[in-house]
Structures are given as structure tokens and as C-alpha cells.
Structure 1
Amino acid sequence: MKIIFMVQGEGRGHLTQAISLGQMLREAGHQVAAALVGTSPGRQIPAFFDEQINAPVYHFHAPNIIYHAGGSGMNVQKTISTHLAGLPRHLKSLRCIHKTIRDIRPDLIVSFYETYGGLYNILYRSRIPMVCIAHQYLLLHPRFVFPEKSGFDRFLINLNSRSTSWLATRRLALSFREIPSRPDLRIMVVPPLLRKEVQELKPVQGDFLLVYMTHHSLSRQIMDWHQANPDQELHCFWDNPDAPEVFQTNEKLTFHRINSEKYLRLLASCKALVTTAGFESVCEAMYLGKPVMMVPVPNHFEQECNALDGVISGAGITSRHFDLSLILEYLPRHTDHSARFKEWYRRGTAMFLHEITAGAQSAESEQEIRSAAG
């Protein structure tokens, strides 16, 4: 099959998932003909994606989360108002997506939680089948455990997940652990997608903490903690476009621009990971047997759900702040679940290839039925 990827460019997780699936599909004889990636002002797509996706990359303007300048997390009101005001630009992006897809003529579109995925299907009534992949689709599963008293937030995030997957033939819900699929809801539960580079790492026990944050505004909390705890070595990754490749405030505190190879090397040798609660980073740590402290971005309900699900799955602990003392206190109590996680993960290749093929075939069958009925 000739396949096009549509990838949400915010954060690192959807990008690395696309790289991993691309590796898997090519080994099975399929072609990834292009990757369409959503970008926005202040969002820099890491260089590792262009280097490792092994396909032409096309950028288009896409909605993104807007954060408070002071590092207090997601600005929900400004995020919504900005995106509503940008409707003409969004329609232009959809036209660009349609032109690229029309020129390439793929057999299948795989969308990694790209906001425009469902809208594209609705507006252009594309006959090309679409399979959608994300951890967020697991939140549509009746057995998913949500934070308490979160009914309205749950409604909003699931509304968004449904909108990204309108008319898709399959929703592949990435999960830390095995949960029965729900074909009646088009939800197929599958293992995480990890790049080969993660599997090839040999973890060792270092003496530093590794910190990964989805937005550089959160770095203020790290600096404040380190000022009170100057003896603990920290290596931090951020997306600050104004910072140099390596910014070292002192010999014990170093900030790095996002670099895939360097990040994985440090992940394999740290004693624990402290991260905003993105799904992909937690999965990589679980695979390598590294304890995790998950710090959801403030006002970011999806990350609150990820953190709770990660705790249930044995990844580590959660906190509302970057108080790194908590992970240091937790380390002696941590149980390594990497063997169980790897067993679930190793089933992934066969499951993904089956579901993607089935997703394309089911769309063809539906079209044949509609043609016969007409």
C-alpha cells in the first residue's frame, strides 16, 4: 500500500510514533509516501523527524495549545479564542492537505491525532480510508479510569478525539497495558509505538535526574527547585527556540534543545525521569525500567489522565509541581515492571499490521456495499 501520514506536530510523542510505524510498515513492504505535519508560530518541529521519517515532509499551519507566559500551564480561553479567530487560515490548511493527498493518491491515510483529520474527511468526503492512532482514543474506552469529578473535561477531550477521527475506519488506542478492544466503538487497543533506537539501548544506573518538559515556560519551576537543591545533577530537555543548543546554568544544571539521540542516551543512563505527562516519554522510560514522576501541564486535562493511567500501570508517581524531592523519596519503593511492559509491546508489530490492513479493507468493503445498493 501507498500510505500518507498526517501528524500532529505539538510535543514529541506523535512524531516519534509516526517514525516507529513508518519503520514497521516499510519492513512489511508498504510505502510511506509523505508525512503532513502541523506547525504553528513558536512550535519548532525537531530535526530528528525529517532525518528519520524517510519520506517527503510537508508542513501546514495547525492549531496548537497556548500557554500562560508565566509558566502556569495551558491558557484554555486564549487557546479556544485564537483558533476560532484563525478559521480562514485553518480552511487554507485543509485545502493544502487536500491538494497534497490528491497529487499523491495514497491507498490509506494514517492520522496521528492530527486536528484536521476528521475535518478533512467531512469537508472533502474523501474515499481514501483513514486509520487514526493515539493514546487519546483510549479515553473513549468505557474501562478507562478518569480523575474524579472530571465529567465536563472528559466530555470536551472525547469530543475532540471523536472530531479528529470522524469517518475513520479504525481508532487504534495506544495503551500502557492490555485492555480488551471495543470493535463496536471502532476502538482497537494496541501497544505503544517505540522506535528501534529505544529497543537497542542498554540501560545503566546513573546518578542524575532527566527532565523533559513540553514547553520551556515550565523551566522556572526546575530552576527554583535546583536553587534549593544544588547538589543534585539535572539534565533537562526543552523547546526554547531562543536558547543555545546547550544552556548550562552551573555544572549541575544543564538545559538541552530537543535532540532525539542525546535524549535517549541520557534516558538510558539516568536514575529516573521527571516529565510532563506525555504518553510517549513515559512509555520509553517504562521500556527501559526507569521510574517516572509525571507532572501534568496545569489546566491540561489530557495529561492529568495520562498521569493517572501511568500510575495505575506501574510507571511511577504523579505530582502537580516539579518538586523533584518527591521522585527521590519514591525511588526506594519503585517496582520495575519493564518485563511485563516489554511482553505487551512485543505483540505490537503483528497487531498494527493487521489493524492497518483491516482498516483499508473494511473501507473498500463499505464502498462496494454502497455502490451495489446505489
Structure 2
Amino acid sequence: MRLLFSPCGIGFGHIGRLIPLAHRLKSRGADVLFSTYGEALKYARKEGFPAIQVPEIELKVKEDGSVDLKRSLTDPGPFLIHYILLKQICAELRVIKRYKPDVVVSDTRASPIIASRLLDVPVITILNQFNIIIPRKKRFLRLSRWADHGSIAVLSKIWASSDKVLIPDFPEPYTLSEGNLNIPERYRRKVEFIGPILPSYPDQLPSKEELREKLNVEEGKKLIFAPISGPSKEKYPFIKILREAFKGFPEEYKIVMSIGEPEKPFLLWNDERMKVYGWVENRFEYLKACDLIVSRAGHETLMHSICYGKPIILVPTPSHTEQLINAKKAFDLGFALVLEQAKISRETLLKSVEKIINSSFRDKVREINLMAKRFNGMEAALREILAHVEYRAYC
């Protein structure tokens, strides 16, 4: 059994849900190869998987870490974007021809899907964005029209050309990515909501009390976990703001921050109340042990928040439409507070922390957590991949 995993390389959200799948399949005797770029390439290799680098498409970022939407879509420009996409397709064609996978698994990348279709190889796509939304602001109006009627609109047709589309989210009314999942009726037969793909579920870990003791969280302290990841230019301005805001928090709080650097799995900065790590291998232990989460509004972090029953304070990346949509839905569901990055200070952050700890947010996230326990995205994805491998073997 040979499997090719091709995730989007921006940040750790996409690669983060494929790595657990890859480990499980490898334990069953599968031969696994990754084709990707950026942070995902480094992470796949760190996890011990062979990984081939393919041409990169990146988001442009301003000095404050916000997404520069206009430059992202116009620099290098539509013609050069198409050229890069063509290079990606050619790279994936070469990989598939040499590696001869039984199944290709794409996570939010179009080029592996196109290459798989051209070579008649089964392809499963995992994504939580069927559409890309451009803000209907005056300065983005031409871009939004181009997106609706141009190249970006073609993406939904590419996703739907997969043999199966797996969405690691919950069905309505709990769909966090609903604003990005306007799926045409003709494609819905191929789509399945499977819930999040997690390497560790809460009931597989020791109790919260045991974990707090292991992690040296003193009795009576409130543990805040801040897992920050994403492209370097996007996350570092936010990390600086967050560190300054956490300074001087009352003694009753203990803060642990991870800044999404897998090559630095050690303590970078430490004081009486706050520890900053480059990377924490035991992320899910901190998720279970903590009282609340502070993070960007990435889809995977929100899924983890629900599955571990933790309220969350969200600071969406400015101008990042997916995160803004995720944050609004989480707030509407009642388990999250949302802060603008430009308005973060010690006072505003502490006020939000106190509000979320001492209110109905905890009860609401526990209520949603009961619904989440009906889903196991890991097992659902494994079944789908193995079914396609078996079907191909008989064809």
C-alpha cells in the first residue's frame, strides 16, 4: 500500500491533520510519501516521513502580520499564479509517475487533484474551505468580482473532481467553516462531514488533575494555553503583542505559549508566570490540563477547543477571511470571545480572560463537546482511504 499525502504548506493546520493519519497508516504497513512546501515540508521531515518539495504559493503579509489580500492575489499576478500552479501540477505528475501511489490524499491543494485525474489515480481531498471569500469592501470590490467569476471560482470544481471530499468539521448547525462551505447541490454526494482528525482524544489521556501535576501547575492556578502557529511573518508580530499583554497578569494565572517552531522543541523564555516554548510535543496534554485557550482563529485549533471542552479567546489574523469567518461562528456558538489584534493590551486581554472563565462559556463548550464525541474523523478518514486502496486493488 503506497500513499501520497499532499497538504497545503502554509502553517501547521493542514499538515497537522495529515501527520496523525500518516502515522496510523504507516503502523498498518503503508509506505507514505509527502509532497508539499513551506512549514509543512519541515514538519513532515521532522516526523520522520520522506517529503518532496514542490513549488510554493504563499500569502503576502504586512508588517503587522495581517494578510495583504490585494498583494496575495495580484503579486505575482494571475498569469504568474497560473504559471506556478502549472509548475506544481508538473511536479506532482513527476512524483506520482515515479512513486506510483495507490491513493493520493490532498489537503486543500488543487495541483495533486489535477495530476491524479490526469494519471487516473484515486484522490481523496480533505478541506474545510470549499470557497474562498473576498471581503466586499470597496477596496476589494474588483478582486471579489474576479474571485466570484474568475480563477478562484474554478477551485470548487477542482475539489469536486476528487473521488471523495472529507470535511473535518461538524454538520450544521455546528459547522465552524460554514461561511467557506457553500457547496453546490450537484457536488454534495461526494462530500462527507467527518469531524476533526486528532492524534489524541481526551479519553486516551490521563485525567486533568494528573496532567496538571505532571506539568507542574500549582493547585488553584488557572492555566492559559496559547498555541500560536502560522507563517513567520504573520505570527511574530502577534507573539510580541501577546507576550507584552501577558506580562503582569495576576499571580493566579500560569501561561504556557508555544510559538510553532518544530525545530525548537525547548523552553525559549521563562518567568514566574509565563513560559514560552518553541514547540511542545505534548500539546494535547496542555489542551486537557488548561482552563482556557488563547490563539489565532485557525480551524484546527477551534476543533481542538471543542473536542477538549475548552473555552477560547480568538485573535483572528487581520484581513484573513477564513479566520474571521471561523471566529464569528465560534462566537455565535457561544464558546469563544473575539479580540481584534490592534486592540490587545494587558487590560483588554485580562478582562476577556476573566469574563470567559467566570461565565457561561465553559458550560456552552461542554454542551458542544458532547455533540463532538459522536464523531471520530481519524477513523472515518482511515476507512475512506483503505476503501479506495482496496477498490483500486480489484480494478
**TM above 0.5:** yes
Q: Which residue of 2 aligns with 1:208?
A: 223
Q: Quick one: distance in 1 between partners of 2:154 and 2:256?
A: 34
1:321-332 map, 5 Å = 321=341, 322=344, 323-324=348-349, 325-332=351-358
SS in 1 for 2:96: helix
Q: Does 1:112 align with 2:132?
A: no
Q: Does 1:344 align with 2:374?
A: yes
Q: Which residue of 1 aligns with 2:94?
A: 99
1:290-329 map, 5 Å = 290-313=310-333, 315-321=335-341, 322=344, 323-324=348-349, 325-329=351-355
C-alpha contact 1:273 1:293 (8 A) present in aligned 2: yes
Pick closer, same or farther for the CA change 1:2–1:134 going to 2, 3 Å: same
Q: Which residue of 1 aligns with 2:283?
A: 263
Q: Which residue of 1 aligns with 2:119?
A: 126
Amino acid at match of 1:37: T
Q: Does 1:252 align with 2:259?
A: no
Amino acid at match of 1:36: S
Equivalent of residue 194 in structure 2, options 190, 213, 221: 190
Equivalent of residue 51 in structure 2, options 51, 57, 63: 57
Pick closer, same or farther for the CA change 1:161–1:277 going to 2, 3 Å: farther
Q: Quick one: distance in 1 between partners of 2:187 and 2:393?
A: 19
Q: What is the identity percentage for the equivalent residue pairs of Structure 1 and Structure 2?
A: 16
Residue 178 (structure 1) shift: 5.8
1:93-123 Cα offsets, whole Å, 9 max, x none, are 433322111111112111011253345357x
Equivalent of residue 167 in structure 1, options 161, 167, 171: 161
C-alpha contact 1:14 1:113 (8 A) present in aligned 2: yes
Q: Quick one: distance in 1 between partners of 2:5 and 2:192?
A: 19
Q: Does 1:221 align with 2:241?
A: yes
Q: Quick one: distance in 1 between partners of 2:245 and 2:384?
A: 45
Residue 245 (structure 1) shift: 4.5
1:150-161 map, 5 Å = 152=144, 155=148, 159=153, 161=155
C-alpha contact 1:113 1:164 (8 A) present in aligned 2: no
1:28-74 Cα offsets, whole Å, 9 max, x none, are x57243111222xxx47554x4354x642222232122221223x11
Q: Quick one: distance in 2 between partners of 1:344 and 1:241?
A: 31
Residue 240 (structure 1) shift: 6.5
Q: Quick one: distance in 1 between partners of 2:241 and 2:311?
A: 20
Q: Quick one: distance in 2 between partners of 1:196 and 1:243?
A: 22
Amino acid at match of 1:352: A
Q: Which residue of 1 aligns with 2:37?
A: 38
Residue 359 (structure 1) shift: 5.8
C-alpha contact 2:305 2:312 (8 A) present in aligned 1: yes
C-alpha contact 1:147 1:308 (8 A) present in aligned 2: no
Q: Quick one: distance in 1 between partners of 2:261 and 2:24?
A: 32
Name whichever of 167-176 and 246-255 sits farther off: 246-255
1:168-203 Cα offsets, whole Å, 9 max, x none, are 122111214567996743322111100137653333
Amino acid at match of 2:257: C
Q: Quick one: distance in 2 between partners of 1:59 and 1:251?
A: 42
Consecutive unaligned residues of structure 1, counting only runs of 5 or more, are 141-145, 369-374
C-alpha contact 1:169 1:363 (8 A) present in aligned 2: no
C-alpha contact 1:110 1:133 (8 A) present in aligned 2: yes
Name whichever of 210-219 and 84-93 sits farther off: 84-93
C-alpha contact 1:274 1:292 (8 A) present in aligned 2: yes
Name whichever of 85-94 and 326-335 sits farther off: 85-94
Q: Quick one: distance in 2 between partners of 1:74 and 1:160?
A: 22
Consecutive unaligned residues of structure 2, counting only runs of 5 or more, are 176-182, 213-220
Q: Quick one: distance in 1 between partners of 2:191 and 2:89?
A: 26
Residue 23 (structure 1) shift: 4.1
Pick closer, same or farther for the CA change 1:158–1:228 going to 2, 3 Å: farther
Amino acid at match of 1:304: L
Question: How high is the TM-score relative to the length of structure 1?
Answer: 0.77
Question: How high is the TM-score relative to the length of structure 2?
Answer: 0.73
Pick closer, same or farther for the CA change 1:236–1:66 going to 2, 3 Å: farther
